[in-house]
Structure 1
Amino acid sequence: MAAVVTVREPDHPGDPSEVPDLPTLLGLRSPLVGFSIAVLAVAYVVTVIGTSGPMTGIAWAGQALAFVLALACIHTVVAIPADPLPRWAAVVIGGASLAALGIAWWLAPAGSQWWVQVTAPPAMTAVVAGVFALRGRAGLAWLMVLGTMGVAAAWALAHGENIGLMMMMSNRVLSTVLPATIIALMVRPMLQLMGALRDRELAAVRFAAASRATADERNERLDAFAGEVRPILERIAAGQEFSEDEAMRARLLESTLRDEVRGRGWDSEGVRLAAAAARSRGVAVQLFDDGGVDLDQLTAIDAERLRGELIRVLTAIPAGAVTARILPPGRDHIAVINAVGDDVRRRRVYRPGPTGPRWYDDAAPTT
């Protein structure tokens, strides 16, 4: 009897379903980070409203757009689970963050408190760039630093200010990306090592489970041999005679063992019973498996469909011969059943169909 092996990975932190993604490992999903972002958003709003002079409706709408866009960039860069952060996503988020920065700067009202106004928006950009560095996109993070400097330089020139202000205006982004890059250089290799150790642990678990299953199957076969085959061999060795029923049982046992070896894909309790009953009626039954079916990927429905047809054929034929073969990979058909009797000559083929593999009558000659 072939054993059905089910490998179940352990319910502990090594289990894939319980291993957090990298943003969680870095603490980016922690309540503290969420609270900090909320505080930053509130501080940003208070700064813009509290230091603004007379502003038009368009300017207020632009400031609101810049705030929402910057906050969306922060949320998205933290929420994406893939690691490293997909390059296309980082480019889009980085561009949107710089656009929000430019809108906020250009619409900042003139007045004695303009310096507070222009230093608030880079705080949002700095968060995005810092997370870029932590999430494996340090190059894009530094491009955001350069982009911030470029926007600041353009703003300074457009407003008649000294171009040297660009360094002071972009200082928050620079001072965030630098330590974030250093932290990433130290932390990310450790996380990669943790992932490698976890993969090795899972591979060891799978190997141990497969080894246990193999040992269990071997023990089952040895028990079956000891319980059924050994007594027959001992009687043969002792020169004892067998009755006709005992000889039939010995032949059926031999055929069943042969089916398990060379017809593994057909093996099931139903097939064994149907084949034994057919052989008892004098039907010559031969089962072959040439490897065209991946048994590890065989679903319960497909297994019932594949073997159920063989059971029906074996049950229906009164006498003759039945040959069932699972074909090698790459053939047009997956399996073939040939049934030949006194008034029966039928060939059934199992081939892919629109809704999955199905059995079809085939008029081709038996081979």
Structure 2
Amino acid sequence: MTLSVRTVLSVLGVAFTAYLAVGGLAWRPVPHPLLLIAMLAIYLVTTWLCIFWPARQAAPDATAVLTAGLSRRFVLPGWAAAVALAVAAVVPSVTWYAAGPESRLESFATWSLGGLAALMAIVMVRRRPWVAWTGVVLLTAAATIWIGLLDALTLGAVGAVVWVGVAQLLTWLVDRAARDTAELTEVQRHASEWLASQEGRRRERRVQVWRALTVAGPVLTRTIETGGQLDDDERMRARLAEGSLRDELRGRGLLDDDVRRRLEAARRRGASVTVLDEGGLDGLDERGLQTIRAELAGILDQAHSDRLYIRTSPHDGIAVTVVGRSRSADDAEESVDLWHEIAQPPHA
């Protein structure tokens, strides 16, 4: 069975505080024994409550996700912190009162110095530093009043300051380590994303080079062999190859096999075709792109314009605009004879 850091620390905290409380049971006859037992019970209940009570998460962030146990920013509820502070103020004084003047320096009367120091260290770990230090001050003040400053320092007040200070230092160090881990993980994630994007670009360039060689290679070979003296059919193939390469470079997002065949058919009948993808398709999934390409292929299948302009649209709701222009026999200027807007797919 795998145990979390928090579980192990909780078990250790229970064992240690129980050990400290046992010292309060080894007492000889005192004026108010029931008060001593009550203070021990209140201390143990409060301490274990502070250890086990479900925490309120202060600020969820990458640190909380990447690390567990101490490094997660879990804060002791305010009411529980107030109870712990009240215990620190009341239990020592009542314990010394119950032990009587003759027994106030005995271990069963001074156990509260170590016990309350442990409680304040737990409160510190649960991210209530002001409450913890206030409890240490109250504990030291009560000890000074009941047994004197020198005895208070000798029997546990100094240890309380050390324990709470070490607890605060440890939580700070763990939090800093967790932040460094989160930052390192974020840097590694960005590096992985950059490497993945570079690999994708390299693959894309290889595909583009392969397609260019496939389309233009035979035409270039024939041009070199004939010294540029091409017949009409070869010139047509060269023009189609040039247009196909432009389409691949400028508007690859709009292309599939059907669209490519219809663009080639338009050029074979003599039309000038311009395809531009200027980012209007960014964010679309493959299904949305297939819907747009199918509609574009249908438009091109029915187009008879002399010039075709196919561009992605930056406007919301419109994915692609197709414009056709032609010149009639008795008109010196071209006029628009085709205008079609392809809407963004509903699921985009």
Residue 214 of structure 1 aligns with which residue?
A: 201
Matched, 1:39 2:34: no
**1:269-323 deviation per Cα after TM superposition (whole angstroms, max 9, x unaligned):** 45334433555566654322233443xx4433443344443234334x2533653
Residue 93 of structure 1 aligns with which residue?
A: 76
The one-letter amino acid of 1:286's match is: T
Matches for 1:45-124 after TM superposition, within 5 Å: 51=24, 53-54=33-34, 66-67=46-47, 69-72=49-52, 82-83=62-63, 93=76, 95-96=78-79, 98-105=81-88, 106=90, 110=95, 111-112=98-99, 113-117=108-112, 119-124=114-119
TM-score normalized with structure 1 length: 0.60
Deviation at 1:147, TM superposition (A): 1.7
- d(CA) in 1 for partners of 2:152, 2:256: 76
- d(CA) in 2 for partners of 1:291, 1:258: 16
Residue 311 of structure 1 aligns with which residue?
A: 297
What SS is found at the alignment partner of 1:120?
helix
Change (3 A) 1:336 1:79: closer
Contact kept? 2:280, 2:312, Cα under 8 Å: yes
Contact kept? 1:145, 1:173, Cα under 8 Å: no
Deviation at 1:259, TM superposition (A): 1.6
Contact kept? 1:282, 1:319, Cα under 8 Å: no
Deviation at 1:38, TM superposition (A): 1.2
Matched, 1:300 2:286: yes
The one-letter amino acid of 1:129's match is: M
Matched, 1:338 2:318: no
What SS is found at the alignment partner of 2:146?
coil
The one-letter amino acid of 1:71's match is: I
- Alignment match of 1:327 (pick from 303, 313, 335): 313
- d(CA) in 2 for partners of 1:255, 1:220: 17
Matches for 1:176-325 after TM superposition, within 5 Å: 176-180=163-167, 201-237=188-224, 238=226, 239-242=228-231, 244=233, 247-277=235-265, 279-280=267-268, 285-294=273-282, 297-315=283-301, 317-320=302-305, 322-325=308-311
Residue 29 of structure 2 aligns with which residue?
A: none
What SS is found at the alignment partner of 2:321?
strand
Q: Can you give the 5+ residue segments of structure 2 that lack an aligned partner in the other structure? A: 26-32, 100-107, 327-336
**1:88-122 deviation per Cα after TM superposition (whole angstroms, max 9, x unaligned):** x9795374553232343436864334533564244
Matched, 1:126 2:126: no
- d(CA) in 1 for partners of 2:159, 2:60: 24
Change (3 A) 1:35 1:175: same
- d(CA) in 2 for partners of 1:172, 1:74: 28
Root mean square deviation, CA, Å? 5.0
Q: Can you give the 5+ residue segments of structure 1 that lack an aligned partner in the other structure? A: 1-28, 133-139, 358-367
What SS is found at the alignment partner of 2:322?
strand
Contact kept? 1:279, 1:285, Cα under 8 Å: yes
The one-letter amino acid of 2:215's match is: E
* Identity between Structure 1 and Structure 2 (%): 21
> How many residue pairs align between the two structures?
307
The one-letter amino acid of 2:297's match is: I
TM-score normalized with structure 2 length: 0.62
- d(CA) in 2 for partners of 1:156, 1:306: 81
Residue 364 of structure 1 aligns with which residue?
A: none
Change (3 A) 1:48 1:310: farther
Deviation at 1:218, TM superposition (A): 3.1
The one-letter amino acid of 2:220's match is: L
The one-letter amino acid of 1:174's match is: V
Contact kept? 2:253, 2:277, Cα under 8 Å: yes
What SS is found at the alignment partner of 2:166?
helix
What SS is found at the alignment partner of 2:341?
strand
What SS is found at the alignment partner of 2:221?
helix
Change (3 A) 1:214 1:115: same
- d(CA) in 2 for partners of 1:310, 1:325: 11
Change (3 A) 1:196 1:35: closer
Contact kept? 1:44, 1:120, Cα under 8 Å: yes
Residue 331 of structure 2 aligns with which residue?
A: none
